[in-house]
Structure 1
């Protein structure tokens, strides 16, 4: 057997009901979770694992496929299999929309990028008037026409989320919100300037596997899920002034919440 990191991997049990390739995947996964193989680090090669476990190359490849399907590793042609980076962005829901950030001219995404020490970009921007879908219309209180703002967000050149904001057309039409660049603080700052002082946000979050289009847009590795978040912003009069439909790469974010205990 080849020399692998001490205690990194054990042995397989050929009498177990669990397939050998899954046992190997289990051990590699546990080694990654324990930090024996760190982010960006190369896993033992196929040849090393074949020698270590006494199995076929195809068995090792099946093990790697399991880990790739879970989004834990990525394969680089001619180089090997590497541990995927962990989430770079910590999204603190109780702080990201704080008014002080808007007063400083920062959008929520810029706040998160600064905290992560990453360079933010926005591309694939589209702003257009359109008919509201039934769901968006219901969330906005039966609005029939909306201004839709679609954009993709990148950190250090990597796509991490794309979002569409839907705003009632009677609020947004002919205002800076309809401009490609709405200005410092983003559309929430502009809404407040228009007299719609924000009161609260409702968010619905679920995890799922991406559609082919979403996987392509976010350049997701096989097996990486997405976080689908729908947020509705309300002003102090109780009116819904925006619905934001966001799809995020699940391996790019940690969602953090601070909840009152009283």
Structure 2
């Protein structure tokens, strides 16, 4: 049962209505996939105009809490499966078992991982990527683009850039790089991996990112740029990744000294 409006509150009426519905969802009174009360029902309950109710429902949609289905109403938006982005996801033991990071973590969480929209080309990288790879502007790289899915639902898109003098003519330049992914191939080529640097920011997606990741309105993304270094200190790959923020939990173990 939704509470009544607080006439003494300085919070706008449509925001109070949105608050009540949001809390009902959090409590489990309204479950994933369940239809929210109709506009008419909310108008009657709160004694407000249709425009006020629509403002409340639109606010929930902009937050990614609810989704409208044409001709059917507004529903509690199902939450996609969460994948834990852990600090050991690039541990060598995964590669030695023939598993790339995404596949290893996804299967460990009980999800069905898959990859599509895969392309492999050669091109000069953007300037900021070239700088991370310590390459001169215009130097060729092998560029691997792909989209990752959980149980058929897209959760991230990633583009890897590897120096052409390392990757050209190897399995890294093929659509299927083989067991363990490109990091296993790099180590077979003599570039034993030493560490990874990651930079992560949260932002709203571009229109193209929203389309490719099938994001609901109001859902942000994590933008992660990772640089892989070998034991000689050479950067051997930069991966530019955009992830649906509601599909991930960032979980890290950090040393205290």
**TM-score surpassing 0.5?**
yes
Instruction: Judge conservation of contact 2:222–2:243 (CA < 8 Å) in 1.
Output: yes
Aligned length: 255
Contact kept? 2:85, 2:251, Cα under 8 Å: yes
Deviation at 1:87, TM superposition (A): 4.9
CA–CA distance in structure 1, aligned partners of residues 229 and 92 of structure 2? 14
- The CA RMSD over aligned residues, in Å, is 1.6
Matched, 1:232 2:227: yes
Indicate yes or no: 2:12 matched with 1:19.
yes
CA contact (8 A) 1:74 1:83 kept: yes
Native 8 Å contact 1:88 1:116 kept in 2: no
Structure 1: which 4+ aligned runs deviate by more than 3 Å?
none
What do residues 172-210 of structure 1 show as CA deviations (whole Å, max 9, x unaligned)? 000000000101111011111111111111100001111
In the TM superposition, what are the counterparts of 1:77-116 in structure 2 within 5 Å?
77-116=70-109
- In the alignment, is the contact (CA less than 8 A) between 2:83 and 2:106 conserved in 1? no
> Does the residue aligned with 2:103 lie in a helix, a strand or coil?
helix
Q: Which moved more, 1:118-127 or 1:46-55?
A: 46-55
Which of 50, 66, 70 is 1:73 aligned to?
66
Alignment of 1:134 with 2:140, yes or no, is no
Q: Describe the shift of the 1:95–1:40 C-alpha distance in structure 2 as closer, same or farther (beyond 3 A).
A: farther
Where do 1:139-150 residues align within 5 Å?
Answer: 139-143=132-136, 144-150=139-145
Q: Secondary structure at 1:180's aligned position in 2?
A: coil
Q: CA deviation at 1:253?
A: 1.2
Query: Which residue of the other structure, out of 171, 177, 190, is the alignment partner of 2:172?
Result: 177
Question: Counterparts of 1:109 and 1:84 in 2: how far apart (Å)?
Answer: 25
Which is worse superposed, 82-91 or 50-59?
82-91
> By how many angstroms is 1:51 displaced?
2.3
Structure 1 residue 104: Cα displacement = 1.1
Structure 1 Cα separation of the partners of residues 209 and 195 of structure 2: 29
**Which of 59-68 and 240-249 deviates more?**
59-68
**Could you say which residue in structure 2 is the equivalent of 1:204?**
199
**Distance in 1 separating the partners of 2:45 and 2:230:** 62
| TM-fit CA distance, 1:61 | 1.5
Residue 207 of structure 1: SS of its match in structure 2? Answer: strand
SS in 1 for 2:43: helix
Partner Cα distance (1:39, 1:67) in 2: 14
Query: What's the secondary structure of 1:171's corresponding residue?
Result: helix
Of 94, 110, 113, 1:117 maps to 110
Structure 1 pair 255–150 and aligned structure 2 pair: CA distance change class (3 A):
same
Query: Do the aligned partners of 2:81 and 2:150 also contact (CA within 8 Å) in 1?
Result: no
Residue 50 to residue 116, structure 1, CA distance change in 2 (3 Å): farther
Counterpart of 2:238 in structure 1 is 243
Q: Which moved more, 1:14-23 or 1:137-146?
A: 14-23
Q: Give the deviation of 1:74 after TM superposition.
A: 1.2
1:261 and 2:253 correspond:
no
Find the partner of 1:43 among 33, 36, 45.
36
What is the rounded CA distance, in whole Å, between the counterparts of 2:197 and 2:84 in structure 1?
A: 16
Which residues of structure 2 form unaligned runs of 5+?
none
